[in-house]
Amino acid sequence: MRMIGLIGGMSWESSAEYYRLLNKGTRARLGASASARCLLWSFDFAEIEALQHAGDWSRLTERMVDAAQRLEAAGADLLLICTNTVHRMAHDVQSAVAIPLIHIADPTAERIVTAGFRKVGLLGTAFTMEHDFYKGRLTERHGLEVIVPDDEDRATVHRIIYDELVAGRIRPSSREAYRAVIARIVDAGAQAMILGCTEIMMLVGQEDSPVPIFDTTAIHAAAALDQALATDRSIDEAQGTTTLASVKSASFSETPY
């Protein structure tokens, strides 16, 4: 099994879920006593959050590149950025290392396309919902039409992520708020929903949506295991695009699609 490098701590709540999913998946594939080979570089999210809301993306890029290079030097064979928002600097991170970075949007989009959907709703931080680094990749690379909440709903989704979920707070009232946002996006034509923030799966799941939900955290972890356990030839082929057509083979009960 190849060594998986994790750029985490954004927040540690979702990083803990990545660790759980990677180990659960390794056990399912390799046997009861097997566990994932991984390295974790964990940031203090308070510092990252401050830079995000200050719009200081250049300093954030420097920090992500530094973390990626440290993980590569420590022996990582592939990289995950354990958050959707920080994929804003995914290109810079990939350019700074020789090992492949699995972009969280790619295996998610591949799952959606394989399931036969083309029009999807997107929940995430305001940065993910409003900036083009994520929506544009889904559209330009994978042909998806992306629907985001209106201004008021985007503010609600963003606030709950930063004020509650990153602190591990799960409130029934917030679950109801997310359910209402999802319902309005479905009314606008969404055939499926992307949980485009790695903490959202703590709050809502398939039972909260009238259309299929695609949890980026579980899908991303499954894609990492596909690559970590792939043959040398498969790895060589995957390095050119940093995306994997084989993600559909992953078996996580948390992700039905």
Q: Which of 197, 198, 216, 255 is catalytic?
A: 197
Same-fold call for 4-104+217-249 versus 105-215? yes
Averaged confidence pLDDT in the chain: 90
Per-residue pLDDT for 141 more than 70?
yes
Q: How far is CA 78 from the centre of its chain?
A: 15
Q: Over 80: is that where the pLDDT of 252 sits?
A: no
Query: Rounded CA gap, 68 and 64, in Å?
Result: 6
Q: If you classify domain 4-104+217-249 with CATH, what class do you get?
A: alpha beta
Q: Which of 246, 244, 223, 214 is nearest to 4 (CA)?
A: 223
**Active-site position among 26, 38, 61, 83:** 83
CA 50 to CA 48: how far, in whole Å? 5
What pLDDT does residue 253 have? Answer: 35
**Mean pLDDT, residues 208-231:** 95
Contacts of 28 (CB under 8 A, 6+ apart): 251
In three-state form (DSSP H/G/I as H, E/B as E, the rest C), the secondary structure along 166-229 is HHCCCCHHHHHHHHHHHHHHHHCCCCEEEECCCCHHHCCCHHHCCCCEEEHHHHHHHHHHHHHC
Instruction: Give yes or no: 83 in active site.
Output: yes
User: Element (H or E) spanning 122, and its range?
Assistant: strand 119-123
pLDDT at 248 over 50: no
When pLDDT is averaged across residues 26-54 and rounded to a whole number, the result is 95
**Could you give the CA distance from residue 28 to residue 32 in angstroms, rounded to a whole number?**
7
Maximum C-alpha span of the chain? 49
pLDDT at 73: 98
In percent, the amount of the chain with pLDDT more than 70 equals 89
Enter the pTM of the model: 0.86
Task: Name the 3-class secondary structure at 67.
Answer: helix
Local confidence band at 81 (pLDDT 50, 70, 90 cut-offs)? very high
Of 61, 55, 49, which is closest to residue 158 (Cα–Cα)? 49
Of the listed ranges 18-22, 27-31, 101-105, 233-237, the one predicted with least confidence: 233-237
CATH 3.40.50.1860 fits 105-215, yes or no: yes
Kindly state the tokens that stand for 169: 């707070």
Counted residue by residue, the chain has a size of: 257
Q: What angle do CA 223, 219, 117 make, to 5 degrees?
A: 115
The full set of domain ranges for the chain reads: 4-104+217-249, 105-215
Contacts for 143 with CB less than 8 Å, ≥ 6 apart: 113, 118
**197 a catalytic residue:** yes
